[in-house]
């Protein structure tokens, strides 16, 4: 039986983010939080492996008080159990610390064959936690996976790189990160959402993992100084006309007058 | 131990040279030496790194480095830098570069700023980086608070320097090559689908407004008239497979003089990919579509009638 730990992060709905026009800062308070899309596909990939090979899936997330609600979806889609690291002392730590905390959590869960995650979460786009965790655990990493299967205790995967598709094989345990192209995550049924609430869920703070939140926080190395939407200075001219031909003619004139067509 | 050192590395030679030009700037501010790290089976023309800004070229040559494997490469990078007083490590943000940087950063117990679009150092010698977050809609200004500072730099972020006749040192290192556990069974070449998008002065682009692959010919006619390259938004490539590559935060980031978005809604991810275009034009039948908000000129209308009319109007004017 294969035991898979899937790393998931709840993030704000990116399409709901509004930029404050005066400060150019993103408004994220009060927005609904969901599982980051690529992470959800990592979970879907785990479920498909389980369906073929039998197994057990533990979802693991480092988050906040809001994480439990967002992660219900993971249990509804098909995770068997849920582990949440929730410690306000760890809020805002960087990928370096996050991966150390996740290492401790993964070791506490124990007995895993495979750790799955998304290539990156869509809020931070930092693409570090998978490789960092592999380094800390001394495991091989298989990144950017768009297809995978288990055969005789080995993982066979196709990696999606810029210039090649790389077919690889690795013995388990390993850390695997997936790209968006791997699958389309299933939508949970109402019944499975009901059942999700009954699945085992554990919540840990830093001390439950044998860590000091204060020390971990002090180890954080990257600080965010400012978040600001880039200034968009566009003319925003909407061309209106009686007919399509007229509108097209006006647009053609505008394009030519910009002088952007000279080689 | 050497003096303060900035190291630049990319397995992509061109990107490596681009990073060197920024690395030179950073090194001069820090009063540090700039080293180019070059790994491979056989290193050709190492002098080129010196003429492009490096003070020293660190070379590791080994048949095992003929193809990139992160487990092997991480060991080599760590070993090659063990006697270096490393201030800053800059790595090219290819997919391979990003996984290498994160793993090396973990081994060195330090931070890493992924895909910086700008970097600098402050008066305390800390590395500052600007990078896109929240799907690409927001620029996050960050500071790396302890050394070694690590950042990855995407392709075409910085221009490589003009080569100049500089002197420098070339050191061939003897490094232990560790075995890797992930075995490559097969490597399938991909069709290079960027169609010159990154460098094209004019790009016309298709989105979900196109109902059928065959309808793309409307766009191709417009492209032909303008001498433009044809691109698309993510769903057209990733979901429908009508093209190989897309424009957006996860695909190509482009900076043409003219960009014409046809039937594209303008998600923040797409917007991040075209932010550096000089003029953005959009055609979309949805009045409230975000693409109109980020355009210089837009027509709220049906791409199936507007595109042919625009092609015709441009043809008449270009005679």
Condensed to tens digits (0 to 9), the pLDDT of residues B29-67 reads 999 999 999 999 999 999 999 999 999 999 999 999 998
Choosing among B68, B106, B108, B274, which should be mutated to test the A contact, i.e. which has the most A CBs within 10 A?
Answer: B106
Q: What is the pLDDT of residue B196?
A: 78
- Kindly state whether A234 is in contact with chain B, defined as any CB-CB distance less than 8 angstroms: yes
Domain residue limits at B297: 202-318
In a domain, B228, yes or no: yes
Per the DSSP assignment, residues forming a β-bridge with B129 are B119, B142
Mean pLDDT of all residues in B148-161: 94
In a domain, B194, yes or no: no
Q: Are residues B229 and B158 part of one domain?
A: no
> How distant is the alpha carbon of residue A109 from its chain centre?
20
When pLDDT is cut at 50, 70 and 90, the band that residue B251 belongs to is confident
Q: What is the pLDDT of residue B195?
A: 63
Token pair for residue B80?
A: 């090659």
Q: What is the DSSP letter of B280?
A: E
Q: Are residues B155 and B8 part of one domain?
A: yes
Q: What is the pLDDT of residue B194?
A: 56
Mean pLDDT of all residues in A40-54: 96
Task: Say whether pLDDT at B2 is over 80.
Answer: no
The owner of tokens 């491979």 is B40
Q: Which residues of B touch A231 (CB under 8 A)?
A: none
Mean pLDDT of all residues in A48-77: 96
Q: Are residues B233 and B314 part of one domain?
A: yes
Q: What is the pLDDT of residue B87?
A: 98
When pLDDT is cut at 50, 70 and 90, the band that residue A262 belongs to is low
For the segment A141-191, what is each residue's pLDDT rounded down to a tens digit? Answer: 999 999 999 988 899 999 999 889 999 999 999 999 999 989 999 999 999
Q: What is the pLDDT of residue B304?
A: 97
The number of distinct structural domains making up chain B is 2
In a domain, B193, yes or no: no
Q: Are residues B146 and B217 part of one domain?
A: no
How close B149 gets to chain A, by Cα (Å)?
Answer: 9
CB nearest B144 (choices: A222, A230, A244): A222
Per the DSSP assignment, residues forming a β-bridge with B57 are B36, B170
Q: Which residues of B touch A258 (CB under 8 A)?
A: 258, 278-279, 296
Higher pLDDT pick, B28 / B318: B28
Mean pLDDT of all residues in A84-109: 97
Domain boundaries, chain A: 2-218, 233-263
Q: What is the pLDDT of residue B306?
A: 97
Average pLDDT, chain B: 94
Instruction: For domain A2-218, give the CATH number.
Output: 3.40.50.620
Q: Do A168 and B184 touch (CB under 8 A)?
A: yes
For the segment B103-151, what is each residue's pLDDT rounded down to a tens digit? Answer: 999 999 999 999 999 999 999 999 999 999 987 889 999 999 999 999 9
For the segment A191-210, what is each residue's pLDDT rounded down to a tens digit? Answer: 999 999 999 999 999 999 99
Q: Are residues B167 and B22 part of one domain?
A: yes
Q: What is the pLDDT of residue A29?
A: 86
Q: What is the DSSP letter of B173?
A: -
Mean pLDDT of all residues in B193-197: 68
Looking at residue B121, which CATH number applies to its domain?
3.40.50.620
Task: Say whether pLDDT at B193 is over 80.
Answer: no
Q: What is the DSSP letter of B126?
A: -
Q: What is the DSSP letter of B277?
A: -
> How distant is the alpha carbon of residue B103 from its chain centre?
19
Q: What is the pLDDT of residue A195?
A: 95
Q: What is the pLDDT of residue B245?
A: 85
Closest CA to B234 of B206, B192, B198: B206
- Kindly state whether A109 is in contact with chain B, defined as any CB-CB distance less than 8 angstroms: no
Q: Of the ranges A68-82, A232-246, B204-218, which one carries the lowest mean pLDDT score?
A: A232-246
Looking at residue B291, which CATH number applies to its domain?
3.40.50.1220
Q: What is the pLDDT of residue B192?
A: 61
Share of chain A above pLDDT 70, in %: 99
How many CB atoms are located within 10 Å of the residue B190 CB?
14
Mean pLDDT of all residues in A218-231: 92
In a domain, B65, yes or no: yes
Tell me the pairing of strands A164-171 and A154-160: antiparallel
Q: What is the pLDDT of residue A19?
A: 84
- Cα angle A96, A97, A99 (rounded to 5 degrees) comes to 70
Q: Do A15 and B107 touch (CB under 8 A)?
A: no
What does pTM read for this prediction? 0.88
Q: Do A26 and B181 touch (CB under 8 A)?
A: no
The owner of tokens 């500071």 is B143
State which H helix or E strand residue B77 sits in: helix B70-80
Task: Say whether pLDDT at A83 is over 90.
Answer: yes
Q: Are residues B297 and B226 part of one domain?
A: yes
Residue of A nearest to B107 (CA): A135
Sequence-separated (6 or more) residues with CB below 8 Å from residue B85: B1, B2, B3, B4, B5
Task: Say whether pLDDT at A110 is over 70.
Answer: yes
Question: 3-state SS string over chain A?
Answer: CEEEEEEECEEECHHHCEECCCCCCEECCCCCEEECHHHHHHHHHHHHHHHHHCEEEEEEEEECCCHHHHHHHHHHHCCCEEEEEECHHHCCCCHHHHHHHHHHHHHHHCCCCEEEEECCCCCCCCCCHHHHHHHHHCCCEEEEEEEEEEECCEEEEEEECCCEEEEEEEECCEEEEECHHHCCCCCCCHHHHHHHCCCCEEEECHHHHCCCHHHHHHCCCEEEEEEECCCCCCCCEECCCCCHHHHHHHHHHHHHHCCCCCC
When pLDDT is cut at 50, 70 and 90, the band that residue B250 belongs to is confident
Q: What is the pLDDT of residue B111?
A: 98
Q: Are residues B214 and B166 part of one domain?
A: no
Task: Say whether pLDDT at B70 is over 80.
Answer: yes
């Amino acid at each position: 039986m294969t035991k898979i730990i899937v790393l998931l992060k709840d993030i704000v709905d990116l399409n709901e983010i509004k930029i404050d026009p005066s400060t150019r800062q993103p408004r994220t308070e009060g927005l609904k939080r969901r599982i980051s899309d690529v992470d959800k596909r990592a979970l879907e990939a785990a479920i498909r492996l389980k369906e073929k090979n039998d197994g057990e899936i533990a979802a693991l997330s480092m988050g906040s008080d809001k994480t439990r609600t967002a992660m219900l979806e993971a249990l509804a889609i098909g995770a068997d159990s849920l582990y949440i690291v929730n410690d306000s002392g760890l809020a805002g730590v960087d990928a370096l610390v996050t991966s150390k905390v996740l290492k401790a959590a993964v070791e506490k869960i124990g007995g895993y064959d495979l750790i799955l995650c998304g290539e990156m979460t869509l809020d931070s786009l930092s693409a570090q936690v998978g490789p960092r965790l592999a380094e800390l655990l001394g495991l091989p990493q298989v990144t950017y996976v768009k297809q995978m299967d288990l055969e005789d205790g080995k993982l066979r995967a196709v990696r999606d790189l810029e210039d090649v598709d790389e077919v690889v094989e690795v013995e388990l345990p390993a850390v695997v990160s997936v790209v968006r192209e791997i699958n389309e995550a299933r939508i949970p049924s109402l019944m499975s959402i009901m059942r999700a609430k009954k699945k085992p869920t554990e919540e840990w703070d830093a001390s439950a993992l044998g860590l000091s939140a204060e020390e971990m926080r002090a180890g954080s190395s990257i600080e965010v100084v400012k978040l600001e939407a880039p200034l968009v200075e566009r003319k925003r001219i909407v061309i209106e006309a009686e007919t399509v031909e007229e509108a097209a003619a006006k647009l053609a004139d505008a394009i030519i007058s910009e002088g952007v067509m000279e080689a | 131990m050497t003096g303060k050192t900035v190291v630049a590395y990319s397995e992509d030679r061109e990107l490596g040279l681009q990073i060197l030009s920024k690395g030179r700037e950073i090194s001069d501010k820090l009063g540090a030496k700039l080293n180019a790290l070059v790994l491979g089976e056989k290193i050709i023309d190492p002098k080129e790194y010196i003429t492009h800004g490096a003070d020293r070229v660190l070379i590791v040559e080994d048949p095992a480095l003929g193809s990139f494997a992160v487990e092997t490469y991480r060991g080599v990078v760590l070993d090659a830098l063990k006697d270096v007083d490393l201030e800053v490590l800059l790595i090219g943000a290819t997919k391979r570069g990003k996984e290498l940087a994160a793993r090396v950063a973990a081994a060195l117990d330090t931070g890493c700023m992924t895909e910086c679009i700008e970097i600098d150092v402050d008066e305390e010698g800390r590395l500052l980086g600007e990078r896109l977050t929240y799907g690409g809609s927001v620029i996050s200004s960050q500071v790396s608070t302890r050394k070694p500072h690590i950042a990855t730099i995407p392709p075409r972020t910085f221009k490589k320097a003009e080569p100049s006749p500089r002197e420098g040192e070339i050191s061939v290192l003897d490094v232990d090559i560790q075995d890797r556990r992930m075995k490559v069974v097969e490597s399938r070449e991909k069709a290079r689908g960027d169609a010159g998008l990154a460098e094209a002065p004019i790009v016309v682009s298709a989105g979900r407004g196109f109902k059928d692959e065959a309808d793309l010919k409307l766009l191709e006619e417009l492209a032909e008239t303008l001498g433009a390259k044809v691109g698309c938004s993510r769903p057209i490539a990733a979901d429908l497979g009508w093209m190989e590559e897309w424009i957006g935060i996860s695909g190509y980031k482009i900076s043409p003089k003219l960009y014409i978005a046809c039937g594209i809604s303008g998600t923040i991810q797409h917007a991040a990919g075209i932010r550096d275009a000089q003029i953005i034009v959009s055609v979309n039948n949805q009045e409230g579509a975000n693409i109109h908000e980020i355009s210089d000129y837009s027509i709220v209308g049906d791409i199936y009638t507007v595109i042919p009319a625009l092609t015709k109007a441009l043809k008449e004017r270009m005679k």
